[in-house]
Structure 1
Amino acid sequence: MGPAEDAKVHLAQAEKALKASWMSLKFSPDHLSASMEYSHAATQFRAAGLLAESADAWTKAGAMKEELHDLFGAGRAYESAGAICDGTGPGGPTVAAGHWDKAIRCFRLCGKSEIAAKLILKLASLREKQGDMEGTKTAFQDAIEVFQQDEKDYELGDVYKSYIAFLLRSGALEEALKAMDGHVEVLVRQKHLPFAHKELLSKVVLMLHLQDTVRANEALNTSGDVAGWFPSKECQVGSELVAAFQAHDPEAVASLIKDQIFSFLQVEVARIAKQLRVIGVRTASGGAALEERAEEAHLADMLM
């Protein structure tokens, strides 16, 4: 008997287990037997290359395990169904996401938050590829919430970095600034102060990219709560950069952004830093009057 025929036998056994029978004094569905048979059927369908049937059997196995309150087992079954559908599988990424949503719910309910978070991050990657920006944001925020609840700062820091990178790629700078605040809190708790200083400098870079020297200056001053900030090289360079913007001195800005310190920032931030420009520049006479230049197109290209 080949795997396909074997799978069909297990499928029939699963359906039989769910039927009540007065003759055999069976008055309720046997969810345990059904879940086992569906799992065997899914495995054999996969071996036979019948992916749609395998995914369907895994889904049914997951439903049976939920009936048994085996949420971890249910999560694994839904996760398997999603893995089969992902990529070029039956239904593709959209269907895979539906299975993973069910798996995440089960894993979170049974306290397996780390597994849930890894699947959430898969969803974030999938949704970004699909162009679903809001769905991607929600997935990242869910992953952050999971790790915050479990107080797993190591994993939380990595999620923040990925989330910030996504927001910068999407041009959502204000949301990136908020995420950076959360990342700084994590880094301070971990006592990774040099990395916290780099993130604070990144905030200054983004604010200057937005031509907001007021907030950039406030960020420099209010970051003093982070130990070692004021004497740090990041604070020094950030202060000089803000001063150059306030003085509308493009030459000073051009000189400062060549500092090697910017190459140690997150890739997306480093790219923005290298292209910082002062919109208002000094006139040839060096007087107080400013020649304003509209640079919306240039600024828009900076994040492309």
Structure 2
Amino acid sequence: MFYFEAQGVAGYSSEENGAIYRSAGTHDVMQKNSIGFDLIKKFAGLTGDAASAGFQFRLAYNADMKLVEPQLFNAYLKGKTPIGDLWIGHDRIAFGLASYWDTHGDLLQPLPMYGFGFDRDWGGGFSKDFASGDLKLAATTGTGMGFALDRNFLGSARGSFGVLSFDNYNIGLSFMRGKIPDTMGHGHAQKDVLIGGVDIACNYNNIEQKAEVNCGVKGEKQAFAVFYRMGVNFLDENRLKLEAQYVYTDRDGIQNHTPGGGATFRLTQDLTLRTVYEWSSVSNEHRVAVQLYAYFGV
């Protein structure tokens, strides 16, 4: 399966007092004007799918720095075994809502985009589905989209109860421990990380809710985060969704409140229009953005 992806993003930032061509900060991955593709290959066995491989890649234009940035999301090989599924490459770590929630095309983002956890990381992992939940384990580099090996590592684990697609709820308990590159430092600076988290997702009629709380230490400072999002679906096939979100983070000695919201309207099967508004208490920035997003099979 081969899919083409393209997006156009534009907005306004009160902090910069002008137009922006991204949905978040200059150095954040999400979202910028970009084109890319998503390739998924399945390998059949005697009793069904035995393995799969994925490669998802973008070329994004950073208008602030006037350069093109390569962005790699999926780059994995997954195999099924009698005891569970194994993966190696670049995929999701076993922590929080991001362990199963795909938001790579969204304007509103969960905690990894606020410095807690990783959307994807280099390494390997194990997962096992049960009738009443699942278990995930991962051993990765702690470098996110980039790749580096300098005694850095990240171990993560998540166990959950409930199957969201059948029970309409899922409750997870996660832990991560490691030594990861310090994005606030210089050169090869690293910091120890020890964080625990609880997350919950539940659906009721046309209402979707997700929440997550993380608590622990990064380096020598406490790290704490709260995330909550509620979405309401409207129209046939849930073509319109209105969402409200609140994020609180306390990391590196800085506390920040980030309330926001947005709308998603599926114009066609392949074309989606999204809007977002967020306010940051640290910078007192009001930011709005509009995205036109295309994703279709070739």
Higher RCO structure (Cα 8 Å, ≥6 apart): 2
Q: TM-score, normalised by structure 2?
A: 0.21
Rg larger for: 1
TM-score by structure 1 length? 0.20
